[in-house]
Amino acid sequence: MAQKEFFGGAITATLRLPDSGSLSILHDRRAIQSDLRQVPDTQEVFLYPDSSKSLILEVLERVEAVGAEDAARFHFDSIAHDNNAEQKEILGIRIVPNDRGDNTPSPILLDGTQMVKKFNATVADQVRIFLALYRVEDKNVDLLLAMNVPISSIDGGSVQDVTASQKEFETAALSLQIVDFDLFV
């Protein structure tokens, strides 16, 4: 495990580094080929070299939702919409109080699955989606940490140990700290 910086150090979290070295951060969206993925300035994307698993941290405009769980559902549904998911299911949602004494909001953790066809494939991949939503109300921001874990994948990028990925995600989500709230100005 290692402390990683996001957005130039404005946010930090503890992540497991793959055995083959470090995660590949796609930080310069102008240098990324369009056949891989375009990354907006409001996202940082980490790709795992040993699978099709990815970790995404995204700064979004705060959604109006009745409660924290509804906001997490909204973001899960938005990801399903963006992925053209054929099916989606939420397996659980829980709020984990931040008792560290910093000002990072308590994360709302969501666990779900989506059936998603990749790049014009005829068969959908089953993807486990782990989300952590941090509602920064005074900045009108929803900070979203998401891990996409392919359980079955036609390209061979599936992950065998989903439980280990879930633990890895929860370590990152529960250690995530907003160091500089001026990021959201």
By residue count, the chain amounts to: 185
Specify the amino acid at residue 75.
H
pLDDT by residue for the chain (185 residues), tens only, comes to 889 999 999 999 998 765 554 555 433 333 333 445 566 789 998 888 777 888 999 999 999 977 999 999 999 999 999 989 999 999 999 999 999 999 999 999 999 999 998 777 788 888 999 999 999 999 999 999 999 998 987 766 678 889 999 999 999 999 999 999 999 98
Could you tell me which residues come within 8 angstroms of residue 43 by beta carbon, excluding any fewer than 6 positions away?
56, 57, 58, 59
Phi, psi angles (nearest 5°) of residue 18: -60, 155
Domains and CATH numbers, the chain: 2-184 (3.40.1000.10)
Alpha-carbon span 136 to 98, nearest angstrom: 13
Q: Tell me the C-alpha to C-alpha distance, in Å, between residue 117 and each of 9, 13, 122, 149.
A: 34, 30, 7, 14
Question: CA angle 78-79-84, nearest 5°?
Answer: 100
pLDDT of residue 37: 53
Instruction: Measure the CA–CA gap between 95 and 110, rounded to whole angstroms.
Output: 9
Picking from 116, 143, 145, the residue whose alpha carbon sits closest to that of residue 131 is 145
Q: What is the DSSP letter of 181?
A: G
pTM equals 0.88
- What secondary structure letter does DSSP report for 154? T
Can you tell me the distance from the alpha carbon of 43 to that of 123, in angstroms, rounded to the nearest whole number?
A: 28
Q: Which residues contact 93 (CB under 8 A, 6 or more apart)?
A: 69, 72, 73, 108, 109, 110, 111
